[in-house]
């Protein structure tokens, strides 16, 4: 069976002189990229097979080369977000116990907190070529290790096998028709499964990947899309929504060659989808549902207005089940399939979420009669108001319709009689003058009585993961 490292090897054989990677002014052909990866793999081969090697990089060619070099050497890449806090870095290093940690020059000072002298600290520029016999991983070996974003609890280590990732990549290619003529623009962090999956897809089919450091410099991203006539673009829903609010006049021209916009399953407003459907005259917008533990468990191509709130259906061999104890149509989403991990990293407590090859996601959802999945929220986020069960999204989706509201979060607030009531936290858009009274009046007109917040607060920002997801547990 295929390994992740085989993707690049096959594409370098089939398209040796084709541009594989563009980052700012740097370009690599597939043959050049494969040569660099091979050099690094021989260096990493000095460590025993299946050893863990940590990586601390921002998006860059150096990260991609190091990552693929580790996999080609049959070791395991522990991918660390570049903006990780000192305390979380220390915790992850203790938990993974890597033989080495490789970093860019810019981030190398962060490694000063590592106290274990047995962990070899390597700056990327110090990696030298060495002779070693090539070796091969097994498809069931771990390829990489990512810690979950920790929106509801402490982050957990999630080890992904080559088989997990190859299965997922093949589904992305098949369902979304990726091919070697694509020009893929990627501003997502490679330290997360969404961005990493886009990398795997690109090198699998032999397309050209235009990598960006992040989503901040919109002008630079738009410039690259124009210059290289980009055909695919990947971004989180929040970024897509912001683009429609602030740069809609430019988007139509910039996106004229796009055949696909890919996003993920964080709530995306239906009006945003409609805007992009108008812009992409000959293209599609698609989303997926998944977790780090079970990537791309469903796919949804938005071609039916009635299904805009759905995250789609599972691919072949992936099963979705709604588990509930009350015979209601909604319940916890369980996932089973070749994309699902076998266990967490040194975490028996978290392993209780894996039962007979089913992953208990902690997400609340429902399936319609045609097998389409709808996300309703997190089980941990349900607010119980005098016996009435309320999902935060029931309030947030209504309030976010207001143009003055950039973000909204509903959380429980203790109440002597009802157990809980709703507290609504609002981040206003720039220059907004909307008042709490105006928001409350809007809620009274548009929400059932028990859903109306008893307290409204304005906030400057929300605590978020490195992937931009709001850490609700820190607000409760």
Which domains, ranges and CATH numbers included, belong to the chain? 4-367 (3.40.50.12780), 382-474 (3.30.300.30)
N-term to C-term CA, the chain: 47
Give the SS3 label for residue 369: coil
Report d(CA 253, CA 1) in Å as an integer. Answer: 42
Tens digits of per-residue pLDDT, 200-231?
Answer: 999 999 999 999 999 989 999 999 999 999 99
Q: How many CB atoms lie within 10 A of CB 306?
A: 8
Q: Do residues 119 and 99 touch, judged by C-beta distance below 8 A?
A: yes
Q: Do residues 362 and 393 touch, judged by C-beta distance below 8 A?
A: no
pLDDT of residue 466: 60
Q: At what angle do helices 270-279 and 237-246 cross, to 10 degrees?
A: 70
CA angle 276, 168, 255 (to 5 degrees): 20
Tokens of 361: 């996601």
- Give, as one character, the DSSP assignment of residue 436: H
Report d(CA 297, CA 289) in Å as an integer. Answer: 6
pLDDT of residue 250: 77
Per-residue pLDDT tens listing for the chain (476 residues)? 799 999 999 999 999 999 999 999 999 999 999 999 999 999 999 999 999 999 999 999 999 999 999 999 999 999 999 999 899 999 999 999 999 999 999 999 999 999 999 999 999 999 988 878 889 999 999 999 999 865 556 789 999 999 999 999 999 999 999 999 999 999 999 999 999 999 999 999 999 999 999 998 999 999 999 999 999 999 998 888 878 766 666 788 889 999 999 999 766 778 888 889 888 878 999 999 999 999 999 999 998 777 888 999 999 999 999 998 666 688 999 999 999 999 999 999 999 999 999 999 999 999 999 999 999 888 888 898 987 888 898 899 899 999 999 999 999 998 887 889 999 999 999 889 999 999 999 999 999 999 999 999 999 999 887 656 788 888 87
DSSP H stretches of helix in 236-315: 237-246, 248-254, 270-279
pLDDT of residue 445: 95
Report d(CA 9, CA 63) in Å as an integer. Answer: 17
Give the SS3 label for residue 123: strand
How buried is residue 293: exposed, middle or buried, by Cβ count under 10 Å (0-12/13-18/19+)? buried
The partner residues of 72 in beta bridges, in order of sequence, read: none
Distances in whole angstroms, Cα of residue 11 to Cα of each of 29, 40, 61, 239, 316? 10, 18, 17, 31, 25
pLDDT of residue 270: 80
pLDDT of residue 129: 81
pLDDT of residue 147: 95
The partner residues of 385 in beta bridges, in order of sequence, read: 388
pLDDT of residue 246: 63
Q: Tell me what the pLDDT averaged over the chain comes to.
A: 92
Report d(CA 147, CA 52) in Å as an integer. Answer: 14
- For 376, residues 6+ apart whose C-beta sits below 8 A from its C-beta are 330, 364, 365, 366, 391, 393
* pTM beyond cutoff 0.85: yes
């Amino acid at each position: 069976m295929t390994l992740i490292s085989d993707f690049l090897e096959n594409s370098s054989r089939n398209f040796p002189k084709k541009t594989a990677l563009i980052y700012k002014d740097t370009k690599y052909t597939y043959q050049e990229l494969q040569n660099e990866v091979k050099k690094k793999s021989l260096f990493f081969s000095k460590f025993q097979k299946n050893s863990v090697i940590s990586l601390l990089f921002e998006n860059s060619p150096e990260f991609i080369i190091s990552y693929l070099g580790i996999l080609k050497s049959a070791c395991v890449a522990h991918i660390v977000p570049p903006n990780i806090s000192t305390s979380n870095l220390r915790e992850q290093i203790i938990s993974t116990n890597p033989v080495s940690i490789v970093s860019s020059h810019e981030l190398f000072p962060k490694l000063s907190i590592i106290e274990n002298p047995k962990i070899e600290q390597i700056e990327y520029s110090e990696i030298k070529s060495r002779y070693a016999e090539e070796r091969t991983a097994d498809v069931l070996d771990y390829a990489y290790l990512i810690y979950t974003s920790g929106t509801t609890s402490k982050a957990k280590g999630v080890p992904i096998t080559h088989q997990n990732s190859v299965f997922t990549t093949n589904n992305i290619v098949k369902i979304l028709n990726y091919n070697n003529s694509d020009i893929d623009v990627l501003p997502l962090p490679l330290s997360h499964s969404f961005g990493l999956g886009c990398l795997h897809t690109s090198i699998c089919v032999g397309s050209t990947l235009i990598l960006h450091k992040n989503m901040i410099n919109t002008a630079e991203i738009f410039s690259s899309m124009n210059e290289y006539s980009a055909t695919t673009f990947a971004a989180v829903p929040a970024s897509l929504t912001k683009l429609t609010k602030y740069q809609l006049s430019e988007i139509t021209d910039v996106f004229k060659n796009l055949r696909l916009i890919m996003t993920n399953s964080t709530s995306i407003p239906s009006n945003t989808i409609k805007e992009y459907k108008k812009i992409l005259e000959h293209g599609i917008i698609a989303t997926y549902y998944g977790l780090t533990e079970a990537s791309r468990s469903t796919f949804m191509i938005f071609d039916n207005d009635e299904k805009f709130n759905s995250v789609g259906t599972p691919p072949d061999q992936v099963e979705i089940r709604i588990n509930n104890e009350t015979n209601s149509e909604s319940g916890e989403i369980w996932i089973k399939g070749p994309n699902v991990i076998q266990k967490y990293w040194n975490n028996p407590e978290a392993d209780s979420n894996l039962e007979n090859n089913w992953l208990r996601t902690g997400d609340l959802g429902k399936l319609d009669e045609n097998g389409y999945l709808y996300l309703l929220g997190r089980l941990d986020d349900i607010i119980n108001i005098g016996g009435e069960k309320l999902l935060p999204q029931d309030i947030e989706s209504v309030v976010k319709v207001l143009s003055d509201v950039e973000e909204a979060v509903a959380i429980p607030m203790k109440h002597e009689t009802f157990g809980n009531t709703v507290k609504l936290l609002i981040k206003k858009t720039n220059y907004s003058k909307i008042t709490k009274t105006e928001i409350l009046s809007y809620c009274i007109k548009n929400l059932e009585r028990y859903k109306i917040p008893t307290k409204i607060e304005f906030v400057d920002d929300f605590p978020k993961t490195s992937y931009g997801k709001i850490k609700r547990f820190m607000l409760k």
